[in-house]
Amino acid sequence: MFRFILRLDTRVAENVSINQHKGARSIENSDPEDQFSGGVQILLMALMSLLIVITFLGNAFVFLAFIVDRRLRTQSNFFLLNLAICDFFVGIFSLPLYLKNYIFNRRWVLGKSMCKMWLVIDYLATLSSMYNIVLISYDRFLSVTNPVAYRVQQKCIRSTVVKMATVWILAFLLYGPAVIFWEYVAGYSKVPDGECSPEFFHKKYYLLFTSLFDFFSPLAVIIYFSLRIYLDIRQRIKSKCQQMKICSSEAKANPNDALP
């Protein structure tokens, strides 16, 4: 849920930047009627603050459980821990900065360097969450379709750590370099002062390209694993039903054999 909210928050922030483009020279020159009313602003601040607290506490309890109970330190649970780390970054960094700048101040006030850091962590946490779900889906798929190999992998912590690190590296490579270096490669910046959005936000071809890796491909993989799990379980149920029918027919054909 939090990864979706973060992506939604990012898109809202970017849309706010577009809508403010006509008056980007100074937010103070805009019509007060176009801004949040006092009641709406207080409500949004309260809801966002509550969401931040829930995100922080919920994932902190996950970390505490891993520290206290060693029995939870299995491969599948480590993947859930990795997902909790993504959500934790959302709660302690991305959402608070969004609250401060776009709800409280109604503009970005922390400078370009902090803006880039916020965007990098924003995209990194969101995409890492998606890739973690793919990893969890693969883990479930393997546990159902190949339980013997799955039990062997449960004892290999190094392989688990490598998979977790790979999720973060791939997530960073997709958006991190573009957020940091786009304006230097292009030679100019289109983002005015008081706004915080990636330089590639209006580059439709780049957004279409990245969407293949941050949405469509993970979605297709998750659907594939889920479908394979469903078909495998369905086939097992059919096999058991057939075996039960065979045993039942044999018992009826030879009733004396069933007697002690």
- Gyration radius of the chain's alpha carbons: 25
**Buried b / exposed e along 6-17 (16+ C-beta atoms within 10 A):** bbebbeebbebb
User: Looking at residue 248, what is its pLDDT?
Assistant: 67
Q: What is the chain's pLDDT, residue by residue, as a tens digit (260 residues)?
A: 444 444 444 444 444 343 433 333 333 344 434 445 677 778 888 888 899 999 999 999 999 998 998 888 888 889 999 999 999 998 899 888 888 887 777 888 888 889 999 999 999 999 999 999 999 999 999 888 888 878 877 777 888 899 999 999 999 999 999 999 998 888 888 888 888 889 888 888 888 889 999 899 999 999 999 999 999 888 888 887 777 777 666 666 665 554 44
Angle at 234 (CA atoms; ends 233, 238), nearest 5 degrees = 115
Place of tokens 């939604």: 8
User: Looking at residue 16, what is its pLDDT?
Assistant: 38
Angle at 158 (CA atoms; ends 157, 162), nearest 5 degrees = 115
Angle at 184 (CA atoms; ends 183, 189), nearest 5 degrees = 30
User: Three-class SS string for 212-232?
Assistant: HHHHHHHHHHHHHHHHHHHHH
Question: Beta-strand (E) ranges in 39-184?
Answer: none
CATH of 2-18+34-254, one of 1.10.390.10, 1.20.1070.10, 3.60.20.10, 1.20.1050.10: 1.20.1070.10
Output the pTM of the full model: 0.76
User: Looking at residue 82, what is its pLDDT?
Assistant: 94
Separation of alpha carbons 251 and 241, rounded Å: 15
Polymer length of the chain? 260
Give the domain ranges of the chain: 2-18+34-254
Burial class (CB in 10 A: 0-12, 13-18, 19+), 115: buried
Contact, 155 vs 96, CB < 8 A?
no
Residue 224 has a CB neighbour count (10 Å cut-off) of 13
Region of residue 22 (left: phi > 0; alpha: psi -120 to 50; beta: else):
alpha
Residue 234 has a CB neighbour count (10 Å cut-off) of 10
